[in-house]
Amino acid sequence: MAGRIETPQKIKFIKYIYEKGEGIKSGKIADKFRIRTATVSRSLHDLGEAGYITYDPWQKIHLTETGISFARFLYRRHRILTLMFTCSGLCEYEACRQAEAIEHLVPRENIDQICKAMGHPSRASCGIIEHDPACCGECA
């Protein structure tokens, strides 16, 4: 693996590629996040090496099955953290902002613990929480 995958920037890229669904060029990612194409290319190379995307600098980028699964986890993690923060009294905007700031630091095991402690919630202010069979068992 060429670099650390769980960085805020790479998480944003994976989520954005997932949202687009049909594939996207690296230049569009650079435009969306207002960063240089060369910076995007380095991160995309790392994500390709890790097996999350199919990456060819001259073609559209698509998530692999592993990438799709990871993107779903990223959304689940974000939404569970956001819900945890809103339950603790933060407004929806601030909860989402704080979740985004720390989500790359919180491993799957801790997300599963939070999910269990909250009774396997199905919705956060920012969307539906997709259940993980490894955590939620019969809820999934």
Q: What is the pLDDT of residues 75-130, one digit of tens each?
A: 999 999 999 999 999 999 999 999 999 999 999 999 999 999 999 999 998 899 99
**27-72 pLDDT, tens per residue?**
999 999 999 999 999 999 999 999 999 988 888 999 999 999 999 9
- What residue ranges define each of the domains in the chain, with the CATH number in brackets? 8-63 (1.10.10.10), 68-129 (1.10.10.10)
Residues above pLDDT 70, as percent of the chain: 94
How far, in Å, are 37, 42, 45, 59, 111 from residue 73 at the CA level?
Answer: 26, 23, 21, 26, 10
Q: Structure pTM?
A: 0.88
